[in-house]
Amino acid sequence: MKSRWSDKDADDFISHYAPKGVNADLALRTYTTRLLGGDPKLVLHGGGNTSVKTKTKDLLGEDVDVICVKGSGWDMGNIEPQGLPAVKLAPLQKLLALPRLSDEDMVNYQRINLLDSSAPNPSVETLLHAFLPHKFIDHTHSTAVLSLTDQPDGEKVVREVYGDRVAYVPYTIPGFALAKSVAEVFAKHPKVQGLVLLQHGIFTFADDAKTAYERMIEFVSMAEERLHRQGRKSLAQASLPKSLARVADIAPILRGAVALEKNEMAGTVKRQILCFRTSPAILSYVNGKDVARYSQTGVVTPDHTIRTKNWPLLVPAPEQDKLDEWQATVKAAVEKFVAHYHAYFARNNARAEPKKKEFDSLPRVVLVPGVGLFGLGASAKDAAIAADIAENTVEVIADAEAIGEYRCISEADMFDVEYWSLEQAKLGKAVEKVLARQVCAVTGGGSGIGAATARAMAKEGAEVAVLDRDLEAAKAVAKQIGGKALALACDVTKPDDVRAAFDKIAETFGGVDILVSNAGAAWQGNIGSVDDETLRQSFELNFFAHQSVAQNAVRLMKAQGTYGCLLFNTSKQAVNPGKDFGPYGLPKAATLFLVRQYALDHGKDGIRANAVNADRIRSGLLTDDMVAARAKARGVSESQYMGGNLLGREVYADEVAEAFVYLAHAEKTTAGVITVDGGNIEAAMR
């Protein structure tokens, strides 16, 4: 591992933050914290922490000794000075005299000693930083160091590498107990440049930012050299079926299998979003002969537990053309996983005081031999975090197995971290959005009603795939939505395009729950003389394309077995024909019946089908130029034309989008049509 320190960058940080009242110590602390946080081999997603002891002035202008330490909720990779809140140092150091301290009291005491009452909670490892005398302290969960310490004789292995340059701290749960333990070890070895926390990570320290950071890089490099010293022993591989199933076909099956709370809430859907990963390293790991042993040992460092649980779900390799069989095996594996989790909870909760409330028992990582791994979570973001950690775990364990045998903290220690009181306190407090954990695909999503609907679904918590013939338009909408929104080029009149788009959605999110079949265009012509070609073109887009996307969505929904919702953009033309609009109205009328047919045939699968009837909305179908021309032709103003309905008010795309959102969560409504047109009595339903 190479040092990325640059004198110029360091100076730039100092001069950038100085006008904002940030002193040089904190500017440099921000700089090297980002250097560490930018490397996934050192820290991942909120893991690790850093601190600097410095002076600041209080309101009265008096000097105060403080420690600026990473705040919870901040990521080291993009930290700002306000992510390193200042806490008065002297009161923290006095706590060393206490024999014990509860987590709640510790958090409260740290908060009341903050200089800024609105700052985030200082790290749970704040006291560890405060009890050590050094100015700059850096802490990471280095992949290479973990591979060395996560061994039955891990302490011996790391002692051979670092000798007396560091001190060694046996595993203790983070918080006050660990801080005390570290202080005691350090008191016996006051000359060390760092600490290895067995089965947890590494600390380095110094009086200046550069030395503390470069010691971290040096120690991690020594660990990497030790791992690669002898010829690499790679994992023994198991034999696999000759033809393996595709990711797009197995993802919805997996997503369905991990969505049900089997025991306590039988039948209740709790969906998860999937994030797929594969690479030669992942394949070597999941295809390993001993994968059932090393993958089920436990987490490589305790704070991963919160994101991945202690063990991943391991399923058999999926053979192509035998997916029914595989589905049954996966269901059985999930049931076993859930039963194992309940037993683990009961076993450890028996000794816990006070008693804990059990978390959901579903896996967060799935290993699929022959294919790769999936991260799971309540959102695409959470799923990606679980996948990142799983990839990191693959590396730590493969390297640990290459020099010995992977071993981690005990089940009881893992339980104590997973059911830590500070985590328990968060239980039940987060309220999920109404469409959270659902995947929504919108056709014609690049503009008009489609774009408004894609944005509205995302706002309610859904993961969104924006499909449009115009990829750039789809990308622009996905970018507005932000996060993990997916943009796909798709001509819905081409069955191969549609199939490829739904495969991509399954690979990206694991499946689909809500379809908004919106793409359409208006063709005109007098019905007695219109040419066949025009009518057929309109049927391709305004009827067959709806059928094609709906069939693909139903295929995924049935593989998941967790219900679903089909939504169609029909039109007032489906009910009330417009003069010379036959080529448009006829396929739309067929599509209105298509909605009813899906509701009828797939109600038994829990799949709902509903439609929105919109009329006269400015969009790609009704451009501003068209509005001007039509208003002129009728001798009215544009606003009179657009408000030519019972309410006399223009209707907007965002209002149509709200109707789609409502139907997406109207759990008991199917075969329904909502009219959003300001009132058109000729097109009124029933």
Contact residues: Zn ion, CB under 5 A: 201
User: Considering beta carbons, is residue 175 or 288 the nearer one to Zn ion?
Assistant: 175
User: Considering beta carbons, is residue 145 or 206 the nearer one to Zn ion?
Assistant: 145
CA distance 68 to 74: 13
Active site residue 584: yes
Nearest Cα to Cα of residue 547 among 495, 607, 475: 495
User: Considering beta carbons, is residue 142 or 287 the nearer one to Zn ion?
Assistant: 142
Query: Which residue in the shown chain puts its C-beta closest to Zn ion?
Result: 201
CA distance 351 to 166: 35
Closest approach of Zn ion to the CB of residue 337, in Å: 27
Task: Answer yes or no: are the C-beta atoms of 152 and 405 closer than 8 Å.
Answer: yes
User: Considering beta carbons, is residue 179 or 659 the nearer one to Zn ion?
Assistant: 179
User: Which tokens is 315 given?
Assistant: 């399923």
DSSP of 408-445? ---HHHHHHHHT-HHHHHHTTTPPPPTTTT-EEEEETT
CA distance 573 to 538: 13
Closest approach of Zn ion to the CB of residue 43, in Å: 9
The active-site residue out of 31, 168, 584, 641 is: 584
User: Considering beta carbons, is residue 175 or 318 the nearer one to Zn ion?
Assistant: 175
Please state whether 323 falls in left (phi above 0), alpha (psi between -120 and 50) or beta.
alpha
DSSP 124: T
Closest approach of Zn ion to the CB of residue 286, in Å: 27
Task: Answer yes or no: are the C-beta atoms of 319 and 244 closer than 8 Å.
Answer: yes
DSSP helix/strand/coil, 291: helix
Helices (H), 603-674: 624-634, 638-642, 653-665
Quote the Cα angle for 609-514-485, to 5°: 155
Closest approach of Zn ion to the CB of residue 203, in Å: 9
Q: Which amino acid is at 1?
A: M
User: Considering beta carbons, is residue 46 or 201 the nearer one to Zn ion?
Assistant: 201
Residue 281: how many other CB atoms lie within 10 Å: 13
User: Considering beta carbons, is residue 194 or 201 the nearer one to Zn ion?
Assistant: 201
Instruction: Report in angstroms the alpha-carbon separations of 319 from 100, 239, 325, 412, 559.
Output: 55, 12, 9, 37, 16
Closest approach of Zn ion to the CB of residue 201, in Å: 5
Strand partners, 464: 440
Closest approach of Zn ion to the CB of residue 388, in Å: 17
Burial class (CB in 10 A: 0-12, 13-18, 19+), 124: buried
CA distance 102 to 636: 74
Main-chain dihedrals φ then ψ at residue 604, nearest 5 degrees:
-65, -20
Closest approach of Zn ion to the CB of residue 139, in Å: 6
Catalytic residues: 584
